[in-house]
Chain A
Amino acid sequence: MKASKRSALEVSGIYLVVLIMFAVILYPLVWAFSMSLNPGTSLFALKLIPDNWSLEHYRWLFTNPRSDYALWYKNTLIVAFANGIASVCLVTILAYAFSRFRFVGRKNSIYTFLLLQMFPVLMGMVAIYLLLNTVNLLDTFTGLILIYVFGGLPMNVFLVKGYLDTIPRDLDESAKMDGAGYMTIFFRILIPLAKPIVAVVALFTFMAPFFDFLTPRIIIRSPEKFTLALGLYNFINDKFANNFTIFAAGTILIALPIATVFLLLQRYLISGLADGATKG
């Protein structure tokens, strides 16, 4: 009797902690969501539960001639797809080379990659600006995509290499016996087995342009080439308090699809990440 009472007390303690965490986690999210539904633009007069809900800010984003939101969305999707596809191709083939071949300079290359992934791309931004300027890639999507792909390469190669290392080599050896070439082994055996980590890399590289406002801020000049993050950042940076409700609406429209994908894929992501990092 005493033990069960104690147990019940403990469980309610746990639920209490969970409830507090729910409040802390949900408060800012709900607040942002309610801001986006608040009519009016001034933060000063806003309430957590608005008197009357309205979708006017969402409508503004897509219909107002002063809003470039749809254009930003399109730009971001272009950059995101290009980055995702290019990264997956380069990263997997590089990881394959590092994981399955023994060649001169291999170890040193891996060390170089490990070291480079530690340095934030931000540290070289001035040089990247000047470099893109000299090859006329400043203010282009190509320049932006190049920076994303190669800036993220070291870290992603590492993730995938770690995962490939966990796949037994006997598999490719026996395929080789049967006369499979390198590309056949790569595409028919390793890629299908490495799906979880390929999914992780694809998703992360696809999402990077949605999250990052800094790189486009340095590379992109013309407003018609802004990505979502950059556009929204500039939008809110001009008049923080006055544009906040529209900003909230704009970000909700980014956050919803991304959060959905994330929640759907969470198990997949974790297994890919954890296996690559802990076993590799």
Chain B
Amino acid sequence: MDIKNAIGEQRPSYSGHNPAWAALLSVVPGLGQLYNRRWIKGVLLLVFGLSLIYTLSVPLFNGIVGLIGLGDDPELDDSRTLLVQGILSVILTVILLGLYALNLNDAYRDAKKRQAGVRTPSVRQAFHDSWEHGFPYFVVIPNFIMMALIVIFPLLFMISLAFTNYNLYNSPPAHLLDWVGFANFKALFTEAVWSKSLLSVLAWTVVWTLVATTLQITLAFFLAVLINDSRVRFKKLIRTVFILPWAVPSFMTVLVFAAMFNDNFGAINRDIFSHFGVMIPWLSDPLWARIAIIGIQVWLGFPYVFTLITGVLQSISKDWYEAADVDGGSRWKKFRYITMPHVLYATAPLLIMQYSQNFNNFNLIYLFNKGGPPVSGQNSGATDILISWVYSLTFNENNYKMAAAISIIMGIVVAAFAFYQFRRTRSFREEDMY
């Protein structure tokens, strides 16, 4: 009652007005709104909804049918086009169904309000309200549609390719694609070449991610603590030089490293190791190639972490250390119980991001040695990680179905990692504090 008085409510309530009826009527978009006597909204929705249904239902239906069958006649149908159109139809259908549900909900809620006797807002008022409440939707929805096209659609496409027989020998437009269920996954785990490759790539991806990232973090931490020592001078110069590997485009430095590590004419062998009478096969021996790649990543990756940690070190209050001095704490104890917790607490999310970046560090692997050297009995190279293997399967061997199947495995790893991230990101725990 209070609220009604406050907004100057004068109309009687329509207790006979039935929300369920309104929702039921708006099965045809707009009718429910008309029943609620929201004339303009009702007519607009009616015209808009019916014309959408009229124009889109046939193409959407055809698109989904095409997705199911993937074409009958190789002369007429290109399975890839059908796949693209089919997936887009599914996305569009889901969006339209969502809007449709909003329409039902809207009719129901308006009817509820009317039943309770809340005054129907004027069109102008409604327009104002929709700007007021709808602002985030105006911003988010168009962007989401574009994202659906450019980010989500390709992922769905990749997922569906994994269940087809699309490869170099069976590729449109000469051939039609078929759905093959889990055959590709079965091959991946049972056929010797694939399972051996998958296993070695997976193992190396894990080792690479853990070792390279941990090394770069450890080195950065160590250096940051050393340079932060109050007795060290020229701090600014030292820090500037230490940032250089980050500041120079990695695309360039990796290719420079590829030249330097070259087995025959590379500077590393010629200028350094030749003095000791050894020539190390950096690019052709699996073990040495892996060592070289980890070394390069540490070189490339430590400056970012170094800068982060330096920032945190400078913000730790001196009082902590003075208190520790009073208590006679050793240097190690001060590091272990003051420095470490501070730094790790402040930078943990970014350090975890470093791991996920290295997991997907395509540029370094591919530019350095294209995933090579080759290994006999496998169709992946010795330094291939999942993402570079997927790339070479896709673009060099055109083996789309297997590339897609491997991508899905990668996706599962990424999603599991993402899930773990969600649970510990503070912005989610504190979400509703403001």
Contacts and interface: CB of A to CB of B under 8 A. Distances in A.
What DSSP secondary structure best describes chain A's contact surface?
A: helix
A202 interface: no
Contact of B244 (A15, A29, A44, A147): A29
A240 B151 contact: no
A151 to B, nearest CB: 7
Nearest to A248: B256
B136 A101 contact: yes
Interface in A39-62: 43-44, 48
B294 interface: no
B154 A263 contact: no
Interface in A121-162: 121-128, 130-131, 134, 146-147, 150-151, 153-154, 161-162
The list of the 9 closest CB pairs from A to B, nearest first, reads A124-B154, A127-B157, A127-B154, A262-B247, A251-B252, A101-B136, A259-B247, A97-B136, A150-B150
B147 interface: yes
A214 interface: yes
A153 B147 contact: yes
A96 B143 CA distance: 13
Interface of B: 80-81, 84, 133, 135-137, 139-140, 143-144, 146-147, 149-158, 161, 223, 226-227, 229, 231-232, 238, 240-253, 255-260, 262, 264-265, 267, 271, 299, 307-308, 311-312, 346-347, 349-350, 353, 356, 360, 362-363, 367, 387, 390-391, 394-395, 400, 403, 407, 410-411, 414-415, 417-418, 421-422, 425-427, 431, 434
A48 B271 contact: yes
Contacts of A94: 139-140, 143
A165 B140 contact: no
A258 B249 contact: yes
B350 A278 contact: yes
Interface string A16-48: 011001101110110110000000000110001
B144 A24 contact: no
A107 B350 contact: no
Given A97-B139, A124-B158, A278-B347, A154 B311 contact: no
Interface in A93-109: 93-94, 96-98, 101, 103, 105-107, 109
Interface stretch (A64-72, A77-85, A188-196, A269-277): A269-277
A120 interface: yes
A117 to B, nearest CB: 9
Interface of A: 7, 10-11, 14-15, 17-18, 21-22, 24-26, 28-29, 31-32, 43-44, 48, 90, 93-94, 96-98, 101, 103, 105-107, 109, 111, 114-116, 118-128, 130-131, 134, 146-147, 150-151, 153-154, 161-162, 165, 169, 182, 207, 210-214, 218, 229, 233, 236, 240-241, 244, 247-248, 251, 254-255, 258-259, 262-263, 266, 270-271, 273-274, 277-278, 280
Contacts of B245: 25
Nearest to B150: A150
Given A122-B391, A153-B147, A18 B227 contact: yes
A146 B150 contact: yes
A25 B246 CA distance: 11
A210 B135 contact: no
Nearest to B231: A11
A270 B150 contact: no
B80 to A, nearest CB: 6
A199 B323 CA distance: 39
A214 B153 contact: no
Contacts of B346: 274, 278
A57 B223 CA distance: 37
Contacts of B311: 270-271, 274
B247 A31 contact: no
B241 A25 contact: yes
Contacts of B154: 121, 123-128, 131
B341 to A, nearest CB: 14
A278 B363 contact: no
A125 B84 CA distance: 13
B252 A254 contact: yes
A153 B143 contact: yes
A120 to B, nearest CB: 5
Given A7-B231, A25-B244, A274-B346, A123 B155 contact: yes
A118 B362 contact: no
A252 B329 CA distance: 49
A126 B252 contact: no
Contacts of B252: 32, 251, 254-255
Contact of A240 (B81, B259, B299, B415): B259
B135 A101 contact: yes
A123 B411 contact: yes
Nearest to B157: A127
Nearest to B239: A266
A238 B158 CA distance: 31
B226 A277 contact: no
B150 A128 contact: yes
Nearest to A134: B84
A207 B252 CA distance: 13
Given A263-B240, A266-B307, A121 B256 contact: no
